[in-house]
Structure 1
Amino acid sequence: MLHLRIISPAGSTPDVLAALRADPGVTHLSLLPGAALAPEGDLIHADVAREAANTVLAELERLGLARSGAITLEPIETVLSAAAERADEAAPGEPTDAVVWEELLARTHEESTLSASFLAFLTIACLLAAVGVATDSSVTIVGAMVVGPEFGPLAAFAVGVVRRDRALVWRSALALLAGFPVAMAITLAATLCWEQFGWITLTGFETAQNVDFIYQVGPFSLVVAVLAGAAGMLALCTAKSAALVGVFISVTTVPAAGFAVVASTIGEWHAALMSIGQLALNLAGIVVAGVVVLYLGPQEGDARWRLSRLLHRGR
């Protein structure tokens, strides 16, 4: 379930309480009149079944609380309550299938912004990838995969496409289109410096065997990207952080960028272009898979939503 905390202007409180009482997925309703100070108003607490959250939030926003008050939503780890069980049974669908759009937007918003921290993580990941290529170390390549923050804007891009949110799509695209060139440019400067010290040589690059999978584009490159994108979006929707880590390790986006930089500095243009192709293929596959997963999820009111509700109540 999710915990809902609302600051409501005194004049709107009766309508808010009526809307909450009318939804069978809402329980544990409490009111503290005049308890809120900034903004001023009444403080309302309630717990809502995950499946009913979109409907409840839409009604609260229709009442103007996002402008005149406040709406806070947070997950509840453990609930021991017969009332909560009844609310969960009454709510349509399955909790694990429900996509709470406001929650998903909040998760992807921060990660989709071109910020100093995003650039720092992406640059560090590209540098690690370059070191992995230079030392023929698959372990370092895996480390670069984990550090890379690129799945955030990719997921946000997919959410923006499904929600027809142009601002989110543009912000996510900007983070990727500006972030990768900046990170690769810094990695290029570092690689040229390492070559001056003799740490990276053409001979060492040609004899590397553990990292050549990065630029070898094949049918399974797209398969892995699509599967990783689908798993990542499902992990975001269900807050499964462990699955997200698996997604980071499975795709070669950042390693491909680092490999392209190293290959270009020593004149291996074919390998560099193949790495760029690998990068583009993975980015596209992840976004497409994320969009498909969101579209295939049960939407409120459609046949899949009603079937899920019937199966849930049948059990």
Structure 2
Amino acid sequence: MLHLRLIVPSDRTEAAVALIERTVGTTHLVVLPGAARDPAGDLVLCDVARESGHQVLRALRDLGLDEDGSIAVEDIDLSLSERAAKAEEEAPGEAADAVLWEQLSDATHEESTLSITYCAFMVLATMIAACGVVLDNAVLIVGAMAVGPEFGPLAGVCTGIVRRAPGLVLRSLSALLVGFAAAIAATTLFSVGMDALDLFSRDLLDGERPNTGFIWQPDPFSFVVALLAGAAGTLSLTSTKSGALIGVAISVTTVPAAANAAVALSYGEFGQMWGSVEQLLLNLLGIVLAGTLTLLAQMLLWRTRRGQWLRGRRRA
């Protein structure tokens, strides 16, 4: 269930309440006239099944509440209410399959914003991966994958394409390009410094690396894994399964590929560098392609199910 907290201009309260009352899957409606001060208006509270969330939010935005009032949405972790259970049963589809597009757009907007913190995580993750590359240490590679924040902008690109939001696409692409460029540049300097301290060496980079050699040697499986990870990562975002998203983060060699490219560049190993860049681009392309197709499939599936549900109600 979702909890909605609305600040509604007094002249639109009746319309907002009527909208909520006629939407299947809503309950626990509370109206507090004149309770809001900034902006001034009435305070309206209600709970809504996740399956009906997008429909309600879109209609409330059509009333202009996002411009002249406020729409706040919270997830309800526990609701001990027979009315809430009945509302969820009446709502079309399953909660796990419902996509709250406004929530997804807001989350990807935040995650895809270029910031100092985002760049810092990218740089630190790539430096950790560089240590894993040189030492052929799979544990460090996995750790770097988990630290890397690049899935946020990738999800932003997918969401922007599906929602036809070019601003989100450009913002996400900028975060990706600047983030990886900064990470590779910083890690190249880091590699030079580590070499000066005799902690990195060309022999370690060129030696046998059974655990990390695949990073700069892309093959068809690289693209297949990227496709699977992109689909899984997108599903984890739309269903708010953070554990699944962590699993996705440690399955794709984006950050390790950038790290290998940086270390190889510092030693003039251009063959490894270009192989790593190819691996990086292949993974990014696979994730974006699979993520976009997954969102489109979810949108189509939900429209189909909702249409079937509406036709069933008309017959009844």
TM surpasses 0.5 = yes
> Which residue of 2 is the match for residue 289 of structure 1?
290
Q: Could you say which residue in structure 2 is the equivalent of 1:64?
A: 64
Structure 2 partner of 1:264: 265
Partner of 1:97: 97
Which deviates further from its counterpart, 293-302 or 166-175?
293-302
Alpha-carbon contact 2:92-2:305 (below 8 Å) kept:
no
Q: Conserved in 2, the CA contact under 8 Å of 1:93 and 1:309? A: no
Assess if the C-alpha contact under 8 Å between 2:98 and 2:302 holds in 1.
no
Write the distance in 2 (CA, Å) between the matches of 1:300 and 1:70.
Answer: 30
Q: Is the 8 A contact 2:8 2:44 kept in 1?
A: yes
* Closer/same/farther in 2, CA of residues 301 and 272 from structure 1, 3 Å limit: closer
Q: Is the 8 A contact 1:298 1:304 kept in 2?
A: no
Does 1:247 pair with 2:248? yes
Provide, for residues 15-35 of structure 1, a one-character-per-residue CA deviation record: whole Å limited to 9, x for no partner.
111111111211110011111
| Pairing 1:77-156 to 2, within 5 Å after superposition | 77-156=77-156
SS at 1:77 equivalent: coil
The offset of 1:309, in angstroms, is 7.6
The 1-side partners of 2:123 and 2:176 are apart by 12
SS at match of 2:217: coil
Deviation at 1:220, TM superposition (A): 0.7
Check the 8 A contact 1:4/1:46 in 2, yes or no.
yes
- The runs of 4+ residues in structure 1 deviating greater than 2 Å are 298-311
Could you report, residue by residue, the CA deviation over 1:31-90 in whole angstroms, capped at 9, with x for unpaired residues? 111111211111111001111111111111111111110000111111121211221122
Secondary structure at the residue paired with 2:194?
helix
Give the letter for the 2:53 counterpart: A
The 8 Å contact of residues 7 and 44 in structure 1, kept in 2 or not, is answered as: yes
Q: Percent identity?
A: 48
8 Å CA contact retained: 1:92, 1:308: yes
> CA distance change for structure 1 residues 39 and 158 in 2, over 3 Å: closer, same or farther?
same
Deviation by residue 1:122-159 (Cα, 9 ceiling, x = unmatched): 00011111111122211111111000000000001000
CA distance in 2 between partners of 1:258 and 1:76 (Å)? 41
C-alpha deviation, 1:308, in angstroms: 7.0
Determine helix, strand or coil for the equivalent of 1:302. Answer: helix
Query: What SS does the aligned partner of 2:288 have?
Result: helix
Residues in 1 aligned to 2:227 and 2:11: alpha-carbon distance in whole angstroms: 50
Structure 1 residue 302 displacement after superposition = 3.5
Task: Structure 1: state its 5+ residue gaps.
Answer: none
- Provide the aligned C-alpha RMSD in A: 1.6
SS at match of 1:46: strand
Structure 1: which amino acid aligns with 2:278?
Answer: G
Compared CA separation, residues 89 and 232, structure 1 to 2 (3 A): same
- The aligned counterpart of 1:5 is 5
Distance 1:308 1:236, change over 3 A: farther
Q: Is the 8 A contact 1:20 1:26 kept in 2?
A: yes
Letter in 1 for 2:293: V
Matched to 1:43, the amino acid is L
Q: What TM-score comes out, normalization by structure 2 length?
A: 0.95
Query: Which deviations, in whole Å up to 9, do the C-alpha atoms of 1:83-118 show, x marking residues without a partner?
Result: 112211221111111101001111111110111110
DSSP-derived class of the 2:34 partner: strand
Cα gap change, 1:102/1:304 in structure 2, threshold over 3 Å: closer, same or farther? Answer: same
Amino acid at match of 2:140: T
| Structure 2 SS opposite 1:4 | strand
SS at match of 2:96: coil
